[in-house]
Amino acid sequence: MGKFTNTCAGCLRPTDTGFGLVGEAEWLVAGLMQMMPEGQAIAMVERLAQDEYGCDPGCVPPIDMEVIVRACAGCAGETFELGLLANVEPGPPSYRQPDESRFRMGPAQTA
Ligand SMILES: [Zn+2]
């Protein structure tokens, strides 16, 4: 499971809340773009692919990635429900890419 930093991904202020995203790289970018510019969202997903999934720079895995996005209430707005990241069970609210909005053919692929 990927983690970015201890600061809100949108405004870079310290926060202890966040949410999860599970899906294709393109979908993760689209989700992150709800709270940050497109270039920053792409950079975050590419870094996730490299650090957590061992991809080459600029590449993303052909599987669903899972990431915990640290976010404050101001940046998450009404788009994402937030939870305390310190909670192990249950974890923060997690959003999974709907099958009907997949970018590639077919159901989720596993490694
Ligand atoms: Zn924020």
Calculate how far, in angstroms, residue 77's C-alpha sits from the geometric centre of ligand 1. 9
What is the distance in A from the centroid of ligand 1 to the CA of 7? 8
Decide: pTM greater than 0.85: no
CA of 101 to the centre of ligand 1 (A): 27
Full pLDDT tens readout for the chain, 111 residues: 444 458 999 999 999 999 999 999 999 999 999 999 999 999 999 999 999 999 999 899 989 999 999 999 999 999 999 999 986 777 899 999 998 888 775 555 555
**Ligand 1 centroid to 97 CA: how many Å?**
23
CA of 107 to the centre of ligand 1 (A): 33
Q: Where are the domains of the chain?
A: 17-101
Secondary structure string (H, E, C) spanning 39-97: HHHHHHHHHHHHHHHCCCCCCCCCCCEEEEEECCHHHHCCCCCCEECCCCCCCCCEEEC
Give pLDDT, residue 86.
Answer: 85
